[in-house]
Each structure stands twice: as C-alpha cells, then as structure tokens.
Amino acid sequence: MEIPESAQKLEVMHLTKVDAGVQLSCQMDDEDVVYGLGEQMRGMNKRGFTYVSDALDDAVHTEDRHSLYGSHNFLILSRKTQPSFGVFVDDPGRVAFDVGETKLNQMVITAGPDCTVYFIEGESLKDIAKQFRRLIGRSYIAPKWAFGYQQSRWGYVNESDVREVVRRHQEQGILLDAVYLDIDYMDNYKDFTVDADKFPDFPGFVNEMKDQGVHLVPIIDAGVKIEEGYPIYEEGVAGGYFCKDEDGEDFVGAVWPGKVHFPDVLNSKARQWFGGKYRWLMEQGIDGFWNDMNEPAIFYSEKNMQKVMDELLALKGKNIDLHGFFHMRDILLGLSNNPEDYKSFYHDMDGVKIRHDKVHNIYGYNMTKAAAEAFDEIAPDKRTLLFSRSSYIGMHRYGGIWTGDNSSWWSHLLLSVQQMPALNMCGILYVGSDIGGFGSDTTEDLLLRWLQFGVFTPLMRNHATLGTRQQEVYQFENVEDFRNMIRIRYGLLPYIYSEYMKAALDDELYFRPLSFDYPEDDHAAKVEDQVMVGESIMAAPVYTQNATGRYVYLPEDMLLVRMKSMENKTCEPMEKGHHYVDVALNELVFFVKKDHALPLAVLDEKIKSTANMEDVSYEWICHGDGPVEYVLYDDDGISKKYVPQKDWKKVIVDK
C-alpha cells in the first residue's frame, strides 16, 4: 500500500509498516477537528479517543466502548492552518483510529496490509464530503411511508398484540405508519417462517393492517437454525451455502434458536440463495424488513462451549479464590462474540477461501446486499424498506441502519444527535436511533424530548426491549403532548422528504455539523449538540433531565420557531450569538436560517398516516427580508422513478 501523491505533497500522512499491517499517522494542531467515523461513541469531534472498526454486538454503549455494530472508516480532518482533507481506509478487517488518545496531537490509523486508502482534498468540508459521497455511490432511498412514525417492541407476540397497538394509536388520534415484528413472530426463531398459531392467516393480517395505513415490518436474523425438516437449513446444507470451519464442515454457532449455521453471504451464489428467501414474505404483502444480529452475533460456538464446560468441570469441588472466581466469570462472559470464534470459520468468496475475521466488518453489509439484490428481481420498480444493524461503507447503497441497542439514558439522546452527521458523511442517510431507548426503563420526559429530536430523523421508530417499561406513547399520562409531536412530524414531512431526496440524489448531507455551513465561524466547530437539518433548519434539542430550556449558539441571525402543535406555533427573529432559550417539555423548538423557508403540510382530521397525504396543501415558514426561493421535491413515494434535478419544483415564498 502506498500513500497517495497528494498526501505526500502536503506532508500530512506518514506510512509505517507494523506487524499488524500498516500505520498512517499525522500531526494535529490544537484547533483541528476530526469528523466522521459513522456509528461510534462520544462527540462529533472525535479527538481524544481510539475508535476501532470491528463490528460488535454489544448493548452496553458507554464511553469506554471502542466498537459498535458498524464499521465506517471515513473521517475528515478539519484544519485552520493547513488544507483540510478526508481519509477513507477500505479494509474489511479490524482498523483502529487513535485520534489523539495515545498522543494528544497525533492521529494514528492502523490497518491490515492489503487495505486501500483514499485521500480526498476539497475546497470545503462540504466539498470533501460530497466528493466521497460521489465516490461510494448513491444512498439508499426508502419508500415515503417509511418516513412516517413507526412503533416497535420486542414482545409483540401475535395478531392480538399488534391489533391492540394499532387500535390504541387510532383511538388516541396518534398517526402511525408501521408496526414491527421482532423475533416472536417466527416459528421457533427460524428465518422466513411465521408461527401459524400466533398468525393463523398472515397474508390476510398483513392486508388488514395495510387497509388501516399500517405496514408490518418483520425482523430477519443472520443465523439459520439447525433443524432437520426445516427447508432453509436443508437447502443451505445441500447447496454448500453456509460458512465452513477449518475442517470444511458447516460452522456451528448459536443465537436465538440455539445452534445455527451462518449463510456465506460473501459468496455470490449463497447470497443469491439467501436473498431469494425474502420472496416468501413479500408474496404475503410484506414491503419492509430489518436485518439484525448480522455482525454476526454469536452467543457461543459449539467448540468454544465445550472448552468452557471442560474448564468449569475442572473447578468442581475446588476452593475457588479471588483469581479463580474472576477467571470463571471471564470465561463465561467470553462465550459471546469471542474473537477466537471469528478466527475459526471461513468464507468461499467465489473461489477464494478467506478467514472470517479478515472480512468480519462486511458480513452485515453483504446480508443486506443479498436482500436488496433480491428485491431488484422480485419488485424491480418498487422501493422496499430495508435497514440493518451491522454495516460497512458501501452498504448505504442497499439500505439504512438504526444505531442498535441503545438505552433509555439522556446521554444516549445526545449520542443520537452526534451520530447523525457522522453517519451521513459515510453515505448512510436513512437512519435513526431507538426513540426512548431500547434498554432500561424510559421516562415520560425522556421519551418526549427524544421524540422532539426524532421528528427530524428519517427513521422515526419507538423501540424497546422485552422486560422494560411499556413505552408506546399512549402509555403515558400526557398523551396529547406525544400526539402533537408526532403530528408535527407529519406536518414537516414535505420538508423532511424534500431534503432527504435532494441529499440522496445530489450526494449531499441531510444532517451536518454547524461548521460545514459556517466554516469561517470558529465557534461553530465547538458546538457538539446542535445540527443542521436540510438546507433551512438548525435543530437544538433539549437532552438533559428536568431542563426547561438550553443554551443555543446562533452562527447568524435566525428565526426561532416554537411548536406545541401544528396549530399552536410562534416565530421570533433572534440575533447571531449566544442565547438561553426556554423550551417547555411539550414544545418543539428549532431555528430557520436567514433567507430560507420550509413547507408545512396542512393536516386535516382524515389523515391517519402517510397514505392519506397525497393531496395536502402547504403553509410556509419563511425567514428573510423579501421573497425566498425553496426547492420542493415530491414524487409518488414508492416507485424508483425519481424526479430529475432539472424538474425539481422551485417555489417563491414571500413572508
């Protein structure tokens, strides 16, 4: 591997060969800011920590975590005294980014010997990001209904549970577009099956929900249950479609159903086979999926379990002291997602045998690619909702992501704000976090504040795990406040959809750090809790418990918009600078840039979901001294016949 000539010319990147492969290093000035790396912990500015691309199933998202589910090896070094640049390290194995942790002003990237490095110069941070977006290809575009409000929970077991969720949303006048089916809908956790006792007429039930404007979105996991008589298992074994161990036998791991094999989705024939299995659900009316457990997550491997059992039996009857106890605990905890397991099975990459750990980070990517390629054959002219837990740069062409098993913590609301721009830089536009938090018990105020940011995320899904507090919005005392926030989301859909589509079709960012829009403003680069949303909006969510407002920095004069409902809204011009802004718990606050406008859909009582929004009229929020132009994008929301840029509708708005 060689450093690009442009990087050598600027003398910013230095190459060193090490045992693990290669290291790229550069010095950082005190005021330099590092953006990117997609789905990771900590702030927008990544300085001061080491981030490791090593896709990991880990539900404890605390500050000491170096890896999450995705691997997004792109960053931008924003500099004051030298030209800014972007770096993409294309390596499907483990890559470490020491961004000033070991040495405060030194960045060191460690990758494998066969990596490819792309060095990107540009006129601005936006330009660097746009060049990278053009390099990696157009971002996935979801159907319009997937921009509506969506409800999920691990624990909706049967038709009655789903009907109850839909009924209670409708009774409370809460708009809803989708309900998710977690692993309980399957027959004993087997992919591409439906439990006939829980869903005796699944196609009829799917259509029943669609008649009410609600799409059902089932989960698909990576592991295929080992069970005689299960067609997916038997076909996979017969076709040689599963990953192999070092002896050439089908590798045995374990996930929800117990022992499983993993489809070798890096093999084109296996990928085509596995992707084709989505057809069965699509033929029953399903038009959306979420792929999960595809790092791949491994609860234990058969071989490692035997080793651990032998070690535990050896301890029987012994006086287990301090060191013995911790050893026993560690070997049990080490059963799940053990690095040695990832070194023990192999892929057949169309004739090339390669050990899994060398390509670990692209497994989830290829599982999602398998589905997307199948959709192109099954429903070639129709958009299908598809997003994944694990991902790598490039998967953004096939689907979106959600940010995994977060918790009902205020810090994770802030983390969601900070992750959105970093993911957009890596091409992942259709994204959101589990609103209210997946793990732990949420609170009414946390869920409402989270919704106020979720109003702006393309994927707006409330999701929680089994055993936690019920967090459907109708479960709370002040249900009117939740109803109003979700209704505001639908009011903002013309803007959100326009800005998403323009970003996707023109390789732009939907979410951006402030410094991307205000590069000459030194303070903008220091703001970690505000984001630009599309061309007109700056979002500044409240993310601390019991707060009745927050400090906000305005890089220019802006219009403060307050909305308690679609009918109850006010606008107030504010001058550039630092402000404390009161924000009531039941109030959405955001800011509109000078000489910009945004459309709001006029919602009448007939609207229950996006299915009723075909012919809405608009009202406008505008900030400027005279007429303002806004480009309004719209299409049928379901076909792949996108409107060419020359035909995007330009609207002149006069306040």
- Short-list 281, 215, 223, 278, CA closest to 461: 215
- State yes or no: pLDDT of 514 exceeds 60: yes
Sequence-distant (≥ 6) Cβ neighbours of residue 632 within 8 angstroms: 494, 498, 599, 618, 648, 649, 650, 651
pLDDT band at residue 11 under the 50/70/90 scheme: low
124 CB neighbour count, 10 Å cutoff:
14
pLDDT band at 310 (very low <50, low <70, confident <90, very high): confident
- Write out pLDDT tens, residues 179-220: 999 999 999 999 999 999 999 999 999 999 999 999 999 999
Given a cut of 70, is residue 36 above it in pLDDT? yes
Question: CA-CA distance, 108 to 27, in Å (whole number)?
Answer: 9
> For the range 532-536, what are the long-range contacts, defined as Cβ-Cβ under 8 Å and sequence gap of 24 or more?
533/456, 533/499, 533/590, 534/495, 534/496, 534/498, 534/499, 534/500, 534/502, 534/503, 534/510, 534/598, 535/499, 535/502, 535/593, 535/596, 536/495, 536/499, 536/592, 536/593, 536/596, 536/597, 536/598, 536/630
**Pairing mode, if any, of strands 258-261 and 116-121?**
unpaired
Find the mean pLDDT for residues 242-260: 97
Q: Which of the 8 DSSP states describes residue 236? A: H
- Identify the active-site residue in 250, 287, 292, 529: 292
Active-site hit among 57, 264, 287, 405: 405
- The residue among 341, 337, 371 whose CA lies nearest residue 356 is 341
Residue closest to 452 by CA, chosen among 514, 544, 577, 388:
544
Question: What H or E segment, with its residue span, contains residue 115?
Answer: none
Alpha-carbon distance 389 to 359, whole Å? 17
For the chain, percent of residues with pLDDT exceeding 70: 98
What is the pTM assigned to this prediction?
0.96
Could you say which of 54, 250, 295, 481 is catalytic?
295
For the cut 60, the answer to whether the pLDDT of residue 371 exceeds it is yes
11, HSE (Cβ side, Cα atoms, 13 Å): 0
Whether the predicted pLDDT of 335 surpasses 80: yes
Residue 308 in this model has a pLDDT that exceeds 90? no
Q: Would you say 400 and 376 are in contact if contact means Cβ atoms under 8 Å apart?
A: no
For residue 296, say if its preceding peptide bond is cis, omega within 30 degrees of 0: yes
Tokens of 429: 């536009």
Whether the predicted pLDDT of 6 surpasses 60:
no
pLDDT at position 9: 46
| Locus of tokens 């996930």 | 255
Residues 354-383 have a mean pLDDT of 98
Is residue 161 flagged as an active site residue? no
Cα-trace Rg, the chain:
25
**What amino acid is encoded at 633 in this protein?**
Y
Q: Is 472 a catalytic residue?
A: no
The verdict on whether 295 is a catalytic residue reads: yes
